Each structure stands twice: as C-alpha cells, then as structure tokens.
Amino acid sequence: MKIIPAIDLKDGNCVRLFKGDFEKTTHYSSNPAGIGKRFSELAVSDLHIVDLDGARTGDQHNRDIVAAIASNTTLDVQLGGGIRSRDDIENWQQVGVKRCVVGSVAIREPEVVFGWLDKFGPDAMVLALDVKLSAEDLPILTTHGWTRDANVSLWQCLDRYRERGVRHVLCTDVARDGAMTGPNFALYEEILSRYPGLELQASGGVRHCSDLEHLRDIGVPAAITGRALLDGEITADEVASFRQNA
C-alpha cells in the first residue's frame, strides 16, 4: 500500500482543518515548501496537496507555493482545490503537477469531467469524493470544500464514472478528517467490494501506523495522511516499512 503524505494550504500556510471546518484550523508551518521537502525525504513516491483557499473560492492564490513544491521534489504531486476548468488542469501540469484532483465539478458537471478524462487520460486525474453519512449510513457527497450536500450518493456517482474509465478515486469521510478518530474502514471495504480494481485512496482519520496496517489488510491501495505525520504519530521508519513490505 502506498503512503501519501498530505499538505493542506490556507493563506500561504500549512494547516489542518477539523472535520473540514475552516473556522477550526490548526497552523503547522508558514513554510509549506519546507514541509514538502521533509515529506520528500520519506520512503514515499507521491505527495498530496490541497489548496483549501481554491476549494472554497475557486481562485488559485497558492499557485506559487504549489509550483515551488512540485519543482523541488521528485515525488509525483497530486493537487486538489478549485480545479474547475480544462485550463486549470493544463496550467497545473505545466508547473509539474502529475495528477489533478477534481471534486465539486465532478459532481455538478459530470459530462465536463468525462471530457477531461478523455483528453488527459485516467492517470492524470483523481476523482475526489467527500462524503457525509446519512442517518441510514448512506454516503452522501459534499461539495464546495465540504460545505454543501450534493444530494447524490457515492454509489450513484461512482457507477457513472467507472463506466467512463476513472481509475484513481480519493474518498474522505468528512466526519473523520482531522479528527484523529480512525478511518472509516467499513466504507472503504464496501467501495472495494463494489468496484474491484479501483485505485482507491483512503483519506481522513488516520491516527497511527495501526490504522495504516488495517487499511492495507482490507486491500486499500493507497492511504493519505497529513496530521499524523505532522504530529509525529507516524514515524519515518513506519512509513518505510510499507514500502519494504509492498
């Protein structure tokens, strides 16, 4: 299983949100490029960056920071937050972003994103599907930086995109993100059961190495972790052990 470190950007800083709430922010560093360098020294091949400002407003105010991180690391950088046009994807590719993470627009305008998949290919894009569980435990998609319910289930969305060849999907249970309560293992098991062969990235709630081991044991191909790495709850040696056992 791949371990993918995460950097969340807000106002030029590296931060973490609690359950996606912009009013509940933990500041980690005013030097996100330094965090990127630190993560590049781990035994990993990928780096996940979220432009939180872009996710909320659609404006790419952190572009220079992302470009600096991408140009100073050998990691495959995937970026999400405010990517809403074909030009956005092309512009990010020009500064070294390997995969663009598409969220809200994929739910609002699937036909547009189908066209992007056709043009750029399935390995250039990651579908980001953020969910909140209903009272019946049905995963309902959220948009606009997790602030709005889309009234579409995860299963309805994935059924359509799998037919169009989507390969990489990042799924976050919003209630788990930044909360250090553990990933939603049952959700990921059901995704993999319904869509075998999907390059699923589990995101949200990873607390320690045992959570990563559990995700690996249920067959999750990749797991994103930010806060646990930043807080030192997951060590470099533990990250390296996943590559050694791959």
Report yes or no: 78 and 100 within 8 Å, Cβ to Cβ: yes
Report yes or no: 161 and 110 within 8 Å, Cβ to Cβ: yes
Nearest to 35 by CA among 52, 48, 24, 20: 48
Q: Does 211 qualify as catalytic in the annotation?
A: no
| Active-site hit among 8, 51, 173, 211 | 8
What is d(CA 89, CA 100) in angstroms, rounded to the nearest whole number? 6
Structure tokens at 155: 């299963």
Q: Does 8 qualify as catalytic in the annotation?
A: yes
CA dihedral 153, 201, 167, 80 (to 10 degrees): 80
Place of tokens 């646990």: 228
| Active-site hit among 46, 51, 53, 130 | 130
Catalytic positions: 8, 130
